[in-house]
Amino acid sequence: MSADGVSGQSRVLKVLAEFLSSDRVPQTLLFHGPAGVGKALAAGEFAAALLCEKPPRGGARGCGACASCAAFAGGRHPDFIRVDAAYQACLRQEELAKQKSLRIGTVREARRAMETSAILGGRKVAVVEDADGLEIEAANALLKILEEPPAGAVWILTASRRERLPKTVLSRCAAVAFAPLEDQTVKRILIERGVGAAAAAAAAKDAGGSAGRALDLAHLGYPRALVAGAAAPADASDSLGPDLPSARTQAELALFAVRQELWRGWKEGRTPLAEVSRALDAVRELGESLRANVDPKAVVLLACLEARKAAS
Ligand SMILES: [Zn+2]
C-alpha cells in the first residue's frame, strides 16, 4: 500500500498487534473490506510477524532482521504459502492468465503443505487471497481446514465481497474489518508510486477510498463522458483500451463511477430512490457479467444507457 507498509489502517494494525502481544492469535482470520485498501499487504506483513523469531512489541510486522524475516523478504520462507493465482499456476504448470479462480486441488495441496511440521520450528502460515472468489468445491475444502486447523497453523483469508463467502466459512473465522482509506492517504500512496501530484489528487477523489482503484484510474482512466451522460454510447465503449485486461479494468472503473454518480443523484435530489435502486441493480448485473467474461465494450455500452436513463 505504501513503500513503508500498510497505510491508513491504524485500527486494524492495533488489533493485530494485540493478537501478537497477548499470544492469542486466532488460527483462522478473515481480512475483509473494500478492494484496494491493503488487505493482502497487511496479511503478508502479519504473516511475517507470526513467523518472526522476535517480533517487535506493539507492532504487526516482523523485525526485518532475523533468519525468518530474511527468508520471508526473499520470498522463500519454507513455512509460508500464499494461495493465489500464481501458486495455482505453479502447481498446475499452466499460464498465470489461465487461472480464473482457485480450485479444490489447489486448496487441498495447500492443506497438505500446511499439515507438515514447520521447518524453521515456529508457526506455519497460509494466506488465501480473494477467498470470496473460490469455486464452491474449493470453499468446501477450505471449510474442512478451518474446522480443524492443525496446531501451530494460521490461515488468513482475504475477501472484498464478504457476503459471497459461505456462512459456514464466515462463522469459523475471526473477522478483521478494513475501512476505506482517506482521500489524503490514497493520494500519498499514489505519489509514492510515482504518480504526479495533480493526477494523484484527481484519482483519489474518484476512487471511493481504494488505493488499488485510484492506481488503476491514474494509469488507465475510464470513459468519463459516460457518467456525464454526454457521450454517445458507442464512443464511450470504443474509448476502452485495446487489450482485454485493461479494457476489463476500465469497464470496472466505469461501473464504479456510474454507481457513485447514481448515489450522488439521489443525495442531491435529482433522481428518485426507486430509479436509483433499479439502475444500481442493473449495474450490479453488468458487473457480474463482466466477471463472467462478457465483452467489456458491451458492458460499457449498456452502462452508458443505464446512466442516461437514470439521469433523464
Ligand atoms: Zn524477524
Cα 293 to ligand 1 centroid, rounded to whole Å: 43
Cell numbers linked to 33:
473490506
Neighbours of ion ligand 1 (CB under 5 A): 52, 62-63, 66, 69
Q: How confident is the model over 142-153, as pLDDT tens digits?
A: 999 999 888 899
Ligand 1 centroid distance, CA of 123 (Å):
13
Nine-digit cell string for 60 = 504487526
Instruction: Write out the DSSP string of 15-29.
Output: HHHHHHHHT---SEE
Q: pLDDT tens digits, residue range 41-98?
A: 999 999 999 999 999 988 889 999 999 999 999 999 999 999 999 999 999 999 888 8
Tell me how far the alpha carbon of residue 194 lies from the centroid of ligand 1, in angstroms.
29
Higher pLDDT, 155 or 260: 155
| Distance of CA 146 from the midpoint of ligand 1 (Å) | 27
pTM score over 0.85: no
> What whole-number distance in Å separates Cα of residue 118 and Cα of residue 154?
12
pLDDT of residue 4: 57
What pLDDT, in 10s, does the model give residues 93-142?
A: 998 888 888 999 999 999 999 999 999 988 999 999 999 988 889 999 99
Binned at pLDDT 50, 70 and 90, residue 195 comes out as very high
Q: What are the C-alpha distances in Å from 204 to residues 11, 25, 122, 209, 298? A: 21, 34, 41, 7, 27
Within 10 angstroms of residue 60's Cβ, the number of other Cβ atoms is 25
Q: Which long-range contacts (CB under 8 A, 24 or more apart) does 191-197 make?
A: 192/2, 192/3
> Domain 10-177 maps to which CATH number in 3.40.50.300, 3.40.605.10, 3.30.200.20, 3.40.50.12780?
3.40.50.300
In the reported structure, the alpha carbon of residue 177 is separated from the centroid of ligand 1 by a whole-number distance in angstroms of 26
Expressed in angstroms and rounded, the spacing between residue 122 Cα and the centre of ligand 1 is 12
* pLDDT over 70, % of the chain: 95
What are the residue boundaries of the structural domains of the chain, listed by start? 10-177, 220-311
* Cell numbers placing 158: 482475504
Q: Residue count of the chain, please give it.
A: 312
Kind and range of the H or E element at 159?
A: strand 153-159
What CA–CA distance (Å, rounded) separates 203 from 298?
Answer: 25
pLDDT given for residue 229 in this prediction = 57
Residue pointed to by grid coordinates 488468513: 156
Find out whether 93 and 87 touch, Cβ atoms under 8 Å: no
